[in-house]
Amino acid sequence: MRMGLRDRRGSDVPAQIDVVPIPEGPKLAKVLSLGLGGIILGVATAFIPPHVPQLILLPSAGLFLAVQINGQKAKVGAIHGTCPKCQAAIDLPSEGKVWSKDSWIRCAGCQEPYRVELLSG
């Protein structure tokens, strides 16, 4: 899995991005526990009034969180590069943020935004 930076116009920005893949085993355990936990809590609270909101909200919340976690592929590590606009160094330490399709960073010198993207190939 290769990642890179792109500016607002879609031009590639030379940078080195460390990518930490999320292991499938622990992720699957989280997905199953959230999904099944939401369903079990929803059914278990069927005897506590008000019944209908709990029967709908708890399983829905558990399944929503399970789907969100299942879609996670990698965590973004440290980012090193040079801003093409102001020539300032882009050096961000590893924050452990989960990569999503809308992951953006900003140059510390000129505040130009750059998108962290999955590179094809």
Same domain membership, residue 83 and residue 48: no
At 63 the pLDDT is 94
Query: Is 72's pLDDT higher than 90?
Result: no
- Condensed to tens digits (0 to 9), the pLDDT of residues 75-100 reads 888 888 888 888 888 888 877 778 77
pLDDT score at 121: 56
Count the domains in the chain.
2
Main-chain dihedrals φ then ψ at residue 46, nearest 5 degrees: -65, -20
Can you tell me whether residue 59 is helix, strand or coil?
helix
Q: Which residue, of 35, 51, 71, is where some domain finishes? A: 71
Residues 38 and 60 sit within 8 Å (Cβ to Cβ):
yes
Structural domain that includes position 37: 23-71
